[in-house]
């Protein structure tokens, strides 16, 4: 079991991961599993290290899902055709390997291009459902889902 807080960030652009790491440095640190937003390049760990100097090795703290050596997670992207329940189950398994009780925090976001249509929110609905199921299966008791 990990001594530090474990978080999951779904649809991250790097800013959320950085903010969470900085916030938890004063209370024992944090480790996170990150699914980058589609189109976002791999995180620049040197820049993250500048913002979070307390972290000795960023590769021991931030795990990109494509680097976790799990074939279900390698296919997982923040786009509807690629979101799967197999990926969610693999994410849960990887989270439990780090934290026996689950993740303390699950953060999810999805960038949807702005349209002036009445159904803008409906486009987000399937993502919200997937994120909610993932969060509820991966969160520890009294954990937080944003």
Q: How far is Cα of residue 88 from the mean position of the Cα atoms in its chain?
A: 11
pLDDT of residue 133: 92
For residue 19, report the phi and psi dihedrals to the nearest 5 degrees. Answer: -65, -40
Structural domain tally of the chain? 1
- pLDDT score recorded for residue 139: 93
What's the pTM? 0.83
pLDDT digits 0-9 by tens, 35-56: 888 888 888 888 888 888 888 8
- Alpha-carbon dihedral sign for residues 98, 23, 112, 59: negative
Question: What residue numbers bound the domain in which 94 lies?
Answer: 5-145
Per-residue pLDDT of 100-144, as tens digits, reads: 888 989 999 888 877 777 777 788 888 899 999 999 999 998 889
């Amino acid at each position: 079991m990990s001594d530090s807080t474990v978080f999951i960030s779904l649809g991250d652009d790097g800013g959320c991961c950085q903010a969470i790491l900085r916030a938890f440095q004063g209370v024992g640190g944090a480790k996170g599993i990150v699914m980058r937003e589609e189109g976002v390049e791999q995180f620049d760990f040197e820049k993250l290290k500048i913002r979070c100097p307390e972290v000795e090795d960023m590769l021991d703290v931030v795990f990109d899902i494509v680097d976790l050596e799990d074939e279900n997670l390698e296919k997982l992207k923040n786009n509807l055709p690629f979101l799967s329940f197999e990926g969610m189950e693999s994410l849960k398994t990887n989270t439990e390997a780090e934290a026996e009780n689950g993740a303390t925090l699950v953060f999810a976001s999805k960038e949807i291009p702005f349209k002036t249509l009445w159904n803008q929110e409906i486009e987000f609905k399937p993502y919200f459902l997937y994120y909610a199921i993932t969060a509820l299966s991966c969160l520890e008791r009294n954990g937080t889902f944003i």
